[in-house]
Amino acid sequence: MSALIICEDIWKIYRVGDVEVQALKGLNLTIRRGEFIAIMGSSGSGKSTLMNILGCLDQPTKGQYRLNGIDVGHLPPDRLAEIRNQQIGFVFQSFNLIPRTSALENAQLPLFYRGLSLKEQRSLASAALQRVGLTGREHHSPTQLSGGQQQRVAIARALVTSPALLLADEPTGNLDTQSSQEIMEILEELNREGITVILVTHEVDIAAYASRGIVIKDGQILSDRMTKGRSQVVEA
Amino acid sequence: MHTFVWLTVMTALRVLGRNRLRAGLTLLGIVIGVGAVIAMVSIGEGAKQAVQKQIATMGTNVIMIWPAATSVGGVRGAQGGAVTLTVADAVDLKKKIPLLSDTAWMKRDILQVVNGHRNGNSPVNGVSPSYLSIRDWTFSKGGSFTQADMDSAALVALLGQSVVDELFDPGEEPLGAIIRIRSVPLRVIGVLSPKGQSTYGQDQDDVVFIPFTTAERKVFGTPFLGSVGGLYAATDQAEDMPEAVELIREVMRSRHRLQADQPDDFTIRTQVELGKVQEDTSQTLTVMLMAIASVSLLVGGIGIMNILLVSVTERTREIGVRMAVGAKRAHILIQFLIEAMTLSVVGGCIGILLGVVSARLTTVIAGWPTIISGDTVATAFGFSIAVGLFFGLYPANKAARLNPIEALRYE
């Protein structure tokens, strides 16, 4: 399989007053299409910085980051917004749905910025909601949905654009065990359908769903190993 | 892009609908601002038109020539104190200046006018027949006196409406009645159409006109025949008036044999000059009222800016999410600008309604004339949009410049 992500000698250096903070120190990483990756690490390890860079929300100070063949390290903000819109789907710990707005409209949001007609937006968004099992709840607002359902709306929003990459930052951090399991099964299913999933977590049993585990410490990769992945365990 | 703007307007309306009280209070600022501008300008325009109407009652393209003030031993007498103008001046002006369509002359005194057991003091004007046409007097009953009446110093009179009201019982026929001025019996042959107040606030209808010859020979008496209180002239075209004034000055100076170093012994005024003072006053009033009203519009705009800044802060996370899923800076900027403009446009519409209603109420209750022109409404509406745009720009720009990472992390 071809490489979706190639990070070469990525550095991220912040300046806080006179102090220089090195969040990432020459990190190298290659991710192929269709992988299911769990990134782990304690807080301050640099995993959030890595996520922001991989998600094109931030840019490296030094080094090259190629996403789907595009060198995104030095693109202007508006071009980055386009890349996020076309290539990446985000799932956040706190769902980040727009309040008092229906599930359907939340799922439509990325298409809205793509300038599609309202009709196209609606049909794609309902299809995405159907994929996460929320048919019939299109017109519920976030407060009328449970945490697990809210996160499923967020996943529908992430995959409505058919992105190459799905970035999930602690997607189960605010959910109970039952809902967590449901969400992880949806991610697993999406991965099986071909979407590359990168998961950030510090829970070992959540990370176990992934087929490759990467541990970050002090801005560098501490370990990077293939795991069996839970789906394969189940199949076995 | 079309879809984007339309959906953004819908979103803006929903966001505003969520905080009805807050949106309402913000709207109120713009509503009052726009309403005040429209009401004030309508009152100002009404006042201006009232002045113009009064000026029009003086006649059309009228030039007035009065005797100058006399100075005796350093004491300046009142204007019109000297008796230097004559009927011959008027006749000669018309003959020598083809620009003048007509000239007229008059003399005036305030005298007791008697009808049976009723009487009152009114200005009595002895005038040439041309005077009535120059000053645009028309008749509600009867008609004017003729050149034959002038030549024979006929005992006839024309009454203003106020004089009729004072001297006659309601329903009593004034035409043909005999009134007395200084014991001279005069037959009423015409009643003048009302003109209302002059620019000085005088009742122009409190007036009696008699032929000039009748006045000087039979009613007023005169120091010498042909001396007049004032001369009037008119031109056909308004543009000709400045030139006509200069020609009149030349002719009058030569007729009165004035040396180059002597001042004029007469004063020339035109209708335009008299009206201008009044018009300037009402113009100043309009500008002042508008300035005051604009301040409230400004305050309304600041209200919009304030509420938008609050909204940007409250919705920082939402802005972060929008950016994460692909909103460009321009998208965020336009979203908040549209919210600001939605506020100001809705406020503007309600304000226009309020302004129109207040202007009408002012007319009904206070009796002031008001004019609501389309221009005023359009300008006020345009201003409210501009206010939204201007005061929305800063908060919208602030939102668009947020860092998506920090915005997503905002608690």
Query: pLDDT tens digit string along A136-181?
Result: 999 999 999 999 999 999 999 999 999 999 999 999 999 999 999 9
Cα separation, B358 vs A70, in Å, equals 63
Q: Give residue B16's Cα distance to chain centre.
A: 42
Extended beta strands in chain A, E state: 3-16, 19-32, 36-40, 62-67, 70-71, 88-91, 165-169, 196-200, 212-217, 220-226
- For position A9, what pLDDT does the model report? 94
Q: Which residue has the tokens 């300038």?
A: A115
At B78-116, the pLDDT tens digits run 554 456 788 889 888 989 999 888 999 999 889 999 998
Q: Does B5 touch chain A (CB under 8 A)?
A: no
Q: At what angle do helices B374-400 and B329-361 cross, to 10 degrees?
A: 150
Angle at A156 between CA A155 and CA A160, to 5 degrees: 120
- Kindly determine whether residue A55 and residue B324, on different chains, have CB atoms separated by under 8 Å: yes
Residues A49, A27: Cα–Cα separation, whole Å: 11
Within a domain: residue A106? yes
Give Cβ neighbours of residue A103 (< 8 Å, ≥ 6 apart).
Answer: A129, A134, A137, A138, A139, A140, A141, A142, A145, A153, A156
Residue A209: inside a domain:
yes
Å from B406 to nearest chain A CA?
A: 10
Q: pLDDT for B136-192, tens place per residue?
A: 888 998 888 888 998 898 999 999 999 999 899 888 889 999 999 998 999 999 999
Whether the Cβ atoms of residue B163 and residue B206 lie closer than 8 Å to each other: yes
Q: Does B405 touch chain A (CB under 8 A)?
A: yes
Distance from CA of A203 to the nearest CA of B (A): 21
pLDDT tens for chain B, 411 residues long, are: 677 888 888 888 888 888 889 889 999 989 999 999 898 888 888 888 887 777 777 777 889 888 876 655 555 555 544 567 888 898 889 899 998 889 999 998 899 999 988 888 999 999 999 998 888 888 998 888 888 998 898 999 999 999 999 899 888 889 999 999 998 999 999 999 988 877 667 788 999 999 999 998 888 877 778 888 889 999 888 788 888 999 999 999 988 888 888 888 888 888 777 777 777 877 888 888 888 888 888 888 999 999 999 999 999 999 999 999 999 999 999 999 999 999 899 999 999 999 999 999 999 998 888 888 888 899 888 888 999 999 999 999 999 999 999 999 887
Best CA proximity match to B216, nearest among B227, B205, B206, B207:
B227
Q: Residue B71 has what pLDDT?
A: 57
Residue A188 lies in a domain: yes
Out of B320, B325, B405, name the one closest to residue A113 (CB): B325
Is A29 inside any structural domain? Answer: no
- Is pLDDT above 50 for A233? no
B330 contacts A110? CB cut-off 8 A: no
State how many domains chain A has.
1
H-assigned helices in B57-172: 87-96, 129-134, 147-152, 161-167
Q: Which residues of A touch B330 (CB under 8 A)?
A: 78
Is B328–A55 a contact, with Cβ atoms under 8 angstroms apart? no
CA pair distance A164, A67, nearest whole angstrom: 10
- d(CA B94, CA B82) in angstroms, rounded, equals 23
**In this complex, do B324 and A90 lie within 8 Å of one another by their Cβ atoms?**
yes
**Rg of chain A on CA atoms, in Å:** 18
Give the N- to C-terminal CA distance of chain A in Å, as an integer: 24
HSE-CB for A222 with a 13 A CA cutoff? 13
- Residue A139 domain flag: yes
- Residue A162 within a domain: yes
A100 and B14 in contact by Cβ < 8 A? Answer: yes
Using the CB atoms, write b or e for A152-168: b if 16+ within 10 Å. Answer: bbbbbbbbbbebbbbbb
Give the pLDDT confidence score for residue B241 in this predicted structure. Answer: 86
Across the interface, whether the CB atoms of A81 and B321 are under 8 A apart is answered no
CB A80, CB A43: distance < 8 Å: no
Partners of residue B331 in chain A, C-beta under 8 Å: 113
pLDDT, position A51: 93
For residue B224, the model assigns a pLDDT of 76
Structural domain boundaries enclosing A197: 35-58+76-235
Mean pLDDT of chain A: 91
Q: What is the pLDDT of residue B77?
A: 56
Does residue A84 sit at the B interface (CB-CB below 8 Å)? yes
| Contact assessment for residue B103 and residue B90, using Cβ atoms and an 8 Å cutoff | yes
In a domain, A214, yes or no: yes
Give this prediction's pTM.
0.74
CA nearest to B18 within chain A: A100
CB A43 within 8 A of CB A204: no
Residue B10 touches chain A, beta carbons under 8 Å: no
CB-CB under 8 Å, B18 with A96: no
pLDDT score recorded for residue A234 = 40
By C-alpha distance, the chain B residue nearest A77 is B328
Q: Let me know if residue A68 belongs to a domain.
A: no
Which CATH number does the domain housing residue A229 bear?
3.40.50.300
CB of A173 within 8 Å of a chain B CB? The answer is no
- Residue B198 CB coordination number (10 Å): 14
User: What pLDDT score was predicted for residue A188?
Assistant: 94
Residue A46 contacts by C-beta under 8 Å, 6 or more apart in sequence? A12, A23, A24, A25, A27, A216, A218, A219, A220
